[in-house]
């Protein structure tokens, strides 16, 4: 019985510790070249549907489900949203301020003004923030990356 | 050809092992079942609350005047000192020319360098619940995935052996049949109602 308990305890400890050390999320990164976020945002049509690897600082994390982060661009005052399917990757809140390399597919959300309001209200609710609909002035095209894998520096 | 006594002995052995498996698997599953149950209720209501983090949003202000003359590398330490944040700075970001975002453990500080307005977004993991959700929702992946599969298998065996623990009017041929039937019917009813 003692041996059995030791085995169970070891398994549990291993499963905890392997995660504690893990900084890889989702699928392994396979691209060898990185694309600048500013390049993607300047020429979105060239990249939509293509797999890219980008890097930057995580400046915001979805507080509710960890299902998106904003990554800072290489150009000042610019950012891009990195989205994952719920549960596929869960970004921890502790990732805020960390450097990350993310690989995924560029996608575009073309939304009417009403949809943009709905979308931004949802994002604000997830963060426990208030949202002012008057900040949305019209239809918007949002460029984001559907992440497949990420590496976050410790 | 087996005698009546042999047949009875075989039946007793089968029942005996069924009880042993049910009892020991039951003990083994207590911890994880409680963990999954508590976390299950917590994440079931994710639309109404954040089951993982306690979020706090604090607003305050600092005097922006001294910040204007500081070199960029001294801005962050000066702001942290001004708001009394003693935890080390992870990094900083400028979302707008007049705004600065500072990251420390469990706190993101957004400062308007013009007005001195400060917003602190604190996110503290809910002790215990955060860890339970982490396991329940399999954020751990890796070895935990296999362990959770084993647990699911154990629950399956627990349900199966549970049906045959008792004999007689309270067993699966009596009261047990009705209750088992009701348990199977309930999810089917909700499927019929919502799908």
DSSP states of chain A = -HHHHHHHHHHHHHHHHHHHH--EEESPP--SS---HHHHHHSHHHHBT-EEEEEEEEEEE-TTT--EEEEE-SSTT-EEEEE--TTTS---GGGTT-EEEEEEEEEEEEE-HHHHHHHHHHHHHHTT----GGG--S-EEEEEEEEEEEEE--
Contact yes or no for A63 and B140 at CB 8 A: no
- pLDDT tens readout for residues B80-109: 999 999 999 999 999 999 999 999 999 999
CA distance B83 to B102: 12
CB-based contact (8 Å) between A4 and chain B? no
- Give me the domains of chain A, ranges plus CATH numbers: 25-152 (2.40.50.140)
CA neighbor of A110 nearest in space, from A145, A146, A143, A141: A141
* Cα B76 to Cα A106: distance, rounded to the nearest angstrom: 33
Q: Say yes or no for a CB contact (<8 Å) between A93 and B123.
A: yes
For the residues of B134-167, what is the DSSP string, one character each? HHHTT-S-HHHHHHHHHHHHHHHHHHHHHTTS--
B5 against A76, higher pLDDT: A76
Distance CA(B69)–CA(B180), nearest Å, equals: 75
**Strand order in B117-125's β-sheet?**
B53-61, B117-125, B107-112, B99-104, B89-96
Task: Pull the structure tokens for residue A8.
Answer: 């169970």
**Continuous segment of H or E residues that includes residue A143:** strand A140-152
Segment-wise mean pLDDT, segments of 10 residues, chain B, 195 residues? 74 89 97 97 91 94 93 93 95 94 96 96 95 92 94 97 94 96 97 96
Residue A98's pLDDT is: 95
Task: Inspect the interface and report whether the beta carbons of B91 and A127 lie closer than 8 Å.
Answer: no
Pairs of CB atoms within 8 A across A/B: 73
Which residues, in sequence order, are bridge partners of residue A103?
A: A53, A149
Mean pLDDT of chain A: 87
Residues of B in contact with A127 (CB under 8 A): 55, 121
* H helix or E strand, kind and range, residue B41: helix B4-44
pLDDT exceeds cutoff 70 at A19: no
Min Cα distance A22 → chain B (Å) is 9
Yes or no, beta carbons of A14 and B143 under 8 Å apart: yes
| Helix A2-21 with B142-162: angle, nearest 10 deg | 140
Alpha carbon distance B29, B35 (integer Å):
10
Q: To probe the interface with A, which of B54, B103, B130 has the most A CB atoms within 10 Å?
A: B103
Do residue A128 and residue B142 have CB atoms under 8 angstroms apart? no
């Amino acid at each position: 019985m003692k041996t059995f308990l030791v085995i169970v305890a070891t398994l549990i400890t291993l499963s905890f510790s392997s995660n504690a050390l893990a900084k890889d999320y989702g699928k392994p990164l396979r691209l060898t070249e990185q694309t600048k976020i500013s390049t993607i945002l300047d020429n979105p049509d060239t990249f939509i549907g293509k797999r890219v690897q980008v890097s930057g600082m995580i400046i915001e994390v979805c507080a509710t489900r960890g299902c998106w982060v904003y990554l800072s661009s290489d150009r000042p005052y610019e950012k891009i949203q990195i989205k994952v399917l719920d549960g596929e990757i869960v970004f921890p809140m502790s990732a805020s301020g960390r450097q990350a390399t993310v690989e995924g597919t560029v996608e575009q959300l073309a939304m009417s003004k009403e949809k943009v309001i709905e979308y931004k209200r949802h994002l604000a609710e997830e963060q426990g923030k208030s949202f002012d609909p008057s900040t949305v002035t019209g239809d918007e095209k949002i460029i984001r990356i559907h992440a497949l894998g990420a590496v976050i520096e410790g | 050809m087996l005698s009546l006594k042999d047949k009875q002995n075989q039946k007793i052995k089968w029942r005996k092992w069924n009880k042993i498996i049910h009892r020991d698997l039951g003990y083994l599953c207590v911890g994880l079942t409680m963990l999954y149950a508590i976390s299950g209720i917590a994440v079931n209501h994710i639309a109404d609350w954040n089951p993982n983090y306690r979020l706090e949003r604090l607003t305050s202000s600092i005097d922006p005047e001294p910040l204007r003359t500081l070199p960029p590398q001294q801005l962050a330490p000066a702001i942290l000192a001004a708001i009394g944040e003693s935890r080390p700075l992870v990094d900083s970001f400028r979302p707008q020319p007049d705004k600065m975002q500072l990251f420390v453990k469990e706190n993101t500080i957004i400062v308007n360098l013009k007005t001195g307005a400060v917003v602190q977004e604190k996110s503290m993991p809910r002790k215990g619940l955060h860890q339970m959700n982490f396991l329940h929702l399999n954020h751990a992946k890796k070895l935990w995935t296999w362990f959770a599969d084993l647990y699911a298998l154990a629950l399956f065996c627990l349900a199966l052996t549970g049906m045959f623990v008792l004999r007689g009017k309270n067993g699966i041929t009596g009261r047990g049949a009705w209750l088992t039937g009701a348990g199977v019917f309930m999810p089917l009813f909700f499927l019929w109602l919502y799908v």
